[in-house]
Chain A
Amino acid sequence: MRLIFQVMAKKFTKETYLYWYELMLTIRQFELKAEEMYKMAGKIRGFFHAYIGQEAIAAGCMSATRPEDPYITGYRCHALGIAKGLTLDSCMAELYGKATGCAKGKGGSMHFFSKEHNFYGGHGLVGAQIGTGAGLAFAEKYRGTDNVSLTFFGDGAARQGMLHEVFNLAMLWKLPVVFICENNHYAMGTSVERTSNVKDIYTLAEAYDMPGEAVDGMDPEAIHNAVERAVTRARAGEGPTLLEMKTYRYKGHSISDPQKYRTKEELDEYKHKDPIDLIYAKIKKAKYATDEELDAIKAKVDAAVDESVRFAEESPWPSEDEVLKDVYDVDHPSLFVMD
């Protein structure tokens, strides 16, 4: 099987490499800036989980899917939101809690959403979206589209009962869903090794006769190829796939994590496989862009990130009557208890 896959693997175009580079750089620069606005300026509050280190997954998934394919993930959601096309302005404004944010300032860091971009969030309860993502797929199949749900979750989430119930259902009903486990090796301070005897999470699929595969989660090419295979199967009505992306988060679990559970050497090992450096080097080697062109991309990205801060700063707070809005489809006063 593997050999055939290798032969089929696409040669990627110059445009794809440049798209990956710009997307991953945008995600990273956005989060670095947001982290700065959190720590130095106190403009952002609540839980804040950075995706830094895992950007290749967003890049490889995006190039292998279509805009109509719904994405859903957990609270570590900035990157996939940006990848699906949310503007940096609406993302930074959401982090600030401004009315112009992608959830009107109501969601914050953990709850980015955009129906327009088929981005279904942004969920706070570990593992919940494994089931919800299969539900997105159920609707696509029911309505007769060939769209595929990309459902992202962590290595920690893989230990929830939800995964097992929904893997079974998704296979039984041949739902068009690609389950993407972002194995960054830790669930808060708990390493994968301490949570199960099954350390290769992709093998959990076997119990349900679901195809499962381990993927180098630091390499957009490998990710693209694996996702493309899974998506092709799903579009053809052949059901779900589990892809385990072996990746790493450079930052703590959240902004307040002292990270005593891992070594600097381990972190450095992954920083040497940095996906942005990897793609940058490939672009240079293939002469897809000159140094000046690459510098121009970096300058463009940095300007867009700075602009998003300005936009968030200047945006208004939600008005106070928003407290009781968006709770029901029609927020009629009789629906609420008002003393």
Chain B
Amino acid sequence: MARQIAFREALREALNEEMRRDENVYLMGEEVAEYNGAYKVSQGMLAEFGPKRVIDTPIAELGFAAVAVGSAQNGLRPVVEFMTWNFACLALDQILNTASKMKAMSGGQIGCPIVFRGPNGSAGQLGAQHSTAFESYYANIPGLKVISPSNPYDAKGLLKAAIRDNDPVMFMESEVTYGDKGEVPEEEYIIPIGKADVKRAGKDITIVSYSKMMKVALAAAEELAKEGIDAEVIDLRTIRPLDWETIVESVKKTNHLVIVEEQWPMCSVSSEIAFRIQKEAFDYLDAPILRITSVDAPMHYAPNLAALAIPDVPRTVALVKKALNKK
């Protein structure tokens, strides 16, 4: 069997390899160096690369994001870790108003090759302010790319691609998958940004998901298989650019589409997919596209309310049956 490593180790390998390859890559963020990372992604990196390239910051998201953005315009290739994406809201001014617009404003002269990364979305009972899933927010912004991988293999290959990319890339991870193990080869590889991946082939219905909700989608597919329903599960991996062609190909075969995601429903990733697929594959759809998202409310702390707030396997299974008009 190929080597198995944890999600956080896969990310670390990508960072280490890219920092060894390119002197201009550095890592900056709260607790990334001496504490070895709030979630231990950067464990051991200070020891290898030293404080010039693995840099602890004070709690000052707007300030250090701005310094990183400026340095990216002037020849460096920063990787900025946000302890979680909730805290990146403070840096939104730099991401939206500077990083995403530099190329356009300067008539193509000055780019911003930077990666912003960190855990995103809910992680148990963390309450309203620590649970937001941000993919759709950033995917709305032209000039940015948005990646949200579901497993160690994809995470490593995509993070390497993100660091080598010349545009600002938002790289969204999850606290609850950092410990997940998966096969990652020893040899170097890169996964191109913007390619979805069929994680399970099937013929009856297409389920599209990404990030930690892929677990729900795949588990639902297993449940459905027991009842004779053969679901195809597509992992978007990249949210912007959105690989809708892969979804269209699948829908041509299955004629049904269900989307599972952690965003709030209004203006979400599923909204965009539903628009695109009805436009590009209208004649192939046998039923309306259905979706399961987070409940349209801030996440509450109580365990029963938190459990209701995000998609789960039973409700996904029920939704697929509804899409297929089965009991």
Chain B 280-327 interface residues, beta-carbon cutoff 8 Å to A: 290-293, 295-298, 300-305, 308-309
Q: Per-residue CB proximity of A314-339 to B under 8 Å, as 1/0?
A: 00011010111001000000001111
Q: Does B49 contact A (CB under 8 A)?
A: no
Whether A127 lies near B59 (C-beta < 8 A) is yes
Q: Choose one: A97, A127, A159, A195; the contact of B301 (CB below 8 Å).
A: A97
Q: With A106-B305, A338-B296 given, is the CB distance from A125 to B87 under 8 Å?
A: yes
Tell me what chain A mostly uses at the interface: helix, strand, loop, or mixed: loop
Tell me what chain B mostly uses at the interface: helix, strand, loop, or mixed: loop
The size of the chain A interface, using a CB distance under 8 A, is 42
A123 to B128, CA, bound (A): 10
Whether B128 lies near A125 (C-beta < 8 A) is no
Whether B129 lies near A110 (C-beta < 8 A) is yes
Q: Does B141 contact A (CB under 8 A)?
A: no
Q: With A188-B38, A317-B304 given, is the CB distance from A159 to B56 under 8 Å?
A: no
Whether A105 lies near B305 (C-beta < 8 A) is yes
Whether A190 lies near B63 (C-beta < 8 A) is no
Q: Does B125 contact A (CB under 8 A)?
A: yes
Residues of B within 8 A of A (CB): 30-31, 34-35, 38, 56, 58-63, 86-87, 89-90, 124-130, 264-266, 290-293, 295-298, 300-305, 308-309
**10 residue pairs bridging A and B, Cβ less than 8 Å apart:** A45-B303, A98-B302, A106-B301, A107-B127, A110-B130, A124-B129, A159-B59, A160-B90, A327-B297, A338-B296
Q: Does A111 contact B (CB under 8 A)?
A: yes
Using Cβ atoms and an 8 Å threshold, which residues of chain B touch A156? 58-59
Q: With A317-B302, A323-B305, A323-B308 given, is the CB distance from A46 to B58 under 8 Å?
A: no
Residues of A within 8 A of B (CB): 45-47, 97-99, 103, 105-108, 110-111, 123-127, 156-157, 159-161, 187-190, 194-196, 261, 317-318, 320, 322-324, 327, 336-339
> Which of B59, B290, B291 has the most C-beta atoms of chain A within 10 angstroms of its own C-beta?
B59
> Which of A108, A123, A196, A322 has the most C-beta atoms of chain B within 10 angstroms of its own C-beta?
A108
Q: Choose one: B58, B264, B295, B300; the contact of A195 (CB below 8 Å).
A: B58
Q: Choose one: B35, B266, B292, B305; the contact of A318 (CB below 8 Å).
A: B305
Q: With A159-B60, A261-B34, A323-B297 given, is the CB distance from A123 to B305 under 8 Å?
A: no
Which residue of chain A is the closest to B297 with respect to CB atoms? A327
> Which of B86, B126, B292 has the most C-beta atoms of chain A within 10 angstroms of its own C-beta?
B126
